[in-house]
Structure 1
Amino acid sequence: MPDSPAVLTEIADRTWVARNELIDVNLTVIGGERGLVVVDTLASTAAMATMLDSIRALGAGQVVGVVNTHAHFDHVLGNAVFEGTPIHAHEATAAALATFRDTRTAFVGSEGGRERAAEIDASPVLLPDRTFSSAQVIDLGDRQVELLHPGRGHTDGDVIVRLPDADVVVLGDLVEESGPPAYGPDCWPMEWPTALDLAISLMTDDTVVVPGHGGVSDSDFVHEQRGQIGVVAETIRDLAGRGIPVGQALAEGEWPWPEHLLDQAVRRGYAHLPRTAKRLPLI
């Protein structure tokens, strides 16, 4: 059975965020005169169906659009609740989800134990049907919801959701407040800092920032995490340039987070560097 829905908290004009218990993922709701846009649909269809009751209770209109900030299951497995509603995402996200849908396996060992793993795995994958390569706008009548692809970072399909009139940005897992950012098997560690530079360029000192996981934050937090992500990238570049083998890099580097969280960052960072940026391994 899914838990009670997370509380929707208004963080700006007609902009609500719920921090869901299942994998501590954030869901954002944006309201306009034409209806509501839901950003990220949680880690299971059951969790999203329960949350939808709370969204309806806002009395702010019907859901007329959905946005997936990237392809990871904890942000998309509630899509099926919105079948028939436009689902917006970067084209790389749609491609990744198509493969995921066809090759999915049980999330054995997922957070919350066997019951939760079954709840997640029972969720069908509904693909986005409104894809774009660089930018898209959802028109809610009295306000515009801007969708921007800042380049590759946490994944190759990250999307920033910007609400200019309310000075809100939703960053998905480009930043995480509840812990270090997740470097997974599809991350792009050498390009991630640049993606965050674009995000920062959209902010003011008063911008409200919604991370993929954790509490709502601000531009100072994004600057700080961008700096740490930049340290990871530059440390990889330095180690490779000095001829340190990839298998020794974690032990040789000085990292902003524990080494066990950075294995994929180092491996993928080495793989993504051009040959001219690497020296032959030191003997």
Structure 2
Amino acid sequence: MPFTEIADRVWVLRHPWLDLNLTVVAGERGFVLVDTHGSHAAAREVLDEVARLSPGPLVAVVNTHEHFDHTLGNATVLDTLGTVPVHATEEAAARTPQAAQRAKDAYAATPQDPRAAQVLATEVRPADRTFSSAAFVDLGDRLLELVHPGRGHTAGDLVARVPDVDVLLAGDLVEESAPPALGDDSWPMEWPTTLDLVLALLTPASVVVPGHGAVVDRRFVEEQCDDLRAVAETIRELAQRGVPVTEALAAASWPYPAEALEDAVRRGYAHLPPLRRQLPLA
């Protein structure tokens, strides 16, 4: 489970628990850790691998969004390597405690899960350096750019760009090892437009690190954007035809398994403006 260098001083660890990607970006001032995993024990595993890299002192932590698998290691990282700013969007930071509690409730209901006790015992520590649209972390000889391109996987997603090596860390706005997670806090009608903005940050040669799975390229992001747009447009069409939300999944063909889209359809219908009734013209 070592870190792999995908560009100059940019290393990715693909952790087997949840197939999660964690990234180290280093510069002359030290390094940034992007996402911290979902428990104290998992964060310790990540830090053991960070130590093998010897990337210098920790300068900052970045949370790509609020979900527990990206934030619940924050306290462990800070307590081990020292107090530094933890960057996230305002929405993500505000929602981190609630997201962590949802995860803890789920693991409490499945105590047989080998990671359950670890998750339940882990302290929740949200980000303390927030922004609404864009920010950056100064690493001395390079910048790590942080951009909130819009709502998609959650309301508070960010992407982190390393412009000097054309690498973009996409968080869960892009997933490779499974369909995009269109959960009960996702924004399916806005996600395609958000990815359009992400694509504007990419070149044909860009390297993209998804939240889960193997490193991908711009073409993969384009294809995922097309699939998500198909989901959004299908939801819109079904609603305009008057198909009840309870019948929508069975009434169309989808680019992803129907069982993965129950929340997407429900939330998509809720986010659409109400249809206006018109009287027939004489």
TM-score category, normalised to shorter length: over 0.9
Change (3 A) 1:236 1:65: same
Distance 1:49 1:278 in 2: 58
Distance 2:30 2:36 in 1: 17
Mean alpha-carbon deviation: is it higher for 88-97 or for 78-87?
78-87
Distance apart, 1:99 and its partner CA: 3.0
Mean alpha-carbon deviation: is it higher for 35-44 or for 100-109?
100-109
Long gaps (5+) in structure 1:
1-5
Structure 1 position 42 matched with structure 2 position 37: yes
- The letter for the 2-side match of 1:156 is A
Structure 1 position 81 matched with structure 2 position 39: no
Mean alpha-carbon deviation: is it higher for 21-30 or for 118-127?
118-127
Equivalences for residues 1-283 of structure 1 within 5 A? 6-83=1-78, 84-100=83-99, 104-105=104-105, 107-108=107-108, 113-276=112-275
**Percent of aligned positions with the same letter in both sequences?**
55
Deviations 1:165-195 (A, max 9, x none): 0100011110110010011110000000011
- The letter for the 2-side match of 1:14 is R
> Could you tell me the TM-score, scaled by structure 1's length?
0.92
Distance 2:277 2:16 in 1: 43
Distance 1:42 1:277 in 2: 46
Distance apart, 1:117 and its partner CA: 1.4
Distance apart, 1:119 and its partner CA: 1.3
Distance apart, 1:106 and its partner CA: 5.0
- The letter for the 2-side match of 1:31 is A
Change (3 A) 1:126 1:277: farther
Distance 2:22 2:163 in 1: 19
> Could you tell me the TM-score, scaled by structure 2's length?
0.93
- The letter for the 2-side match of 1:66 is V
Distance 2:16 2:59 in 1: 25
Distance 1:21 1:52 in 2: 15
Distance apart, 1:113 and its partner CA: 4.6
Contact (CA 8 Å) 1:243, 1:278: kept in 2 or not? no
Distance 1:78 1:252 in 2: 42
- The letter for the 2-side match of 1:207 is S
SS at match of 1:171: strand
- The letter for the 1-side match of 2:56 is G
- The letter for the 1-side match of 2:45 is T
Mean alpha-carbon deviation: is it higher for 91-100 or for 269-278?
269-278
Long gaps (5+) in structure 2:
none
Contact (CA 8 Å) 2:67, 2:99: kept in 1 or not? no
Contact (CA 8 Å) 2:152, 2:173: kept in 1 or not? yes
SS at match of 2:172: helix
- The letter for the 2-side match of 1:215 is A
How many equivalent pairs are there? Answer: 273
